[in-house]
Copies of this chain bind each other. A is one copy, B any other.
Amino acid sequence: MVEQIEVRLGEYKRGFHLITNEIVSQLPELPEYGLLHIFIKHSSAGLTLNENADYTVREDFETVFNKLVPENDPDYQHTLEGPDDMPAHIKSSLVGASVTIPITGGRLNLGTWQGIYLCEFRNYGGSRKLVLTVYS
């Protein structure tokens, strides 16, 4: 059985943001066993799972990703949409456009320290669209 909904996130500034509660609050009733697939319909933002407690982890993510894929590299050709754009595309593929999470006993079976991150790589990305698909 498949259940699917399309949702819009609030607007987030550039950076890594914990959106577990925003996702969970919009889910339909979950099955006993299954999977939740969360998909972002954009190529300059991404989704990942990581540490859910200390906000400095998310700040360090932003620092490290900016070092991994610097802005203003003179070798970039795709520069018309601003210096944050091409790095955003690369970062999006490094983390990926979806996460899949097991459902157990009617709940997301995340580890104690795992949360869902929106990775907003644009300076002004606006409100991002997600597709949530529940399998059982």
**Interface residues in chain A, defined as those with a beta carbon under 8 Å from any beta carbon in chain B:** 2-4, 6, 31, 33-35, 37, 39-44, 48-52, 54, 56-57, 59-61, 63-64, 68-69, 73, 75-78, 86, 89-90, 92-102, 104, 109-114, 117, 129, 131, 133, 135-136
Contact = CB atoms under 8 A, between A and B. Distances in A.
A95 B48 CA distance: 10
Looking at chain A's contact residues, the main secondary structure is mixed
A63 B75 contact: yes
A4 B103 CA distance: 9
A90 B117 CA distance: 12
Q: How many copies make up the complex?
A: 3
The listed residue with most B CB atoms (<10 A of its CB), out of A33, A52, A97, A113, is: A97
B101 A99 contact: no
A76 B102 contact: no
Contacts of A92: 50
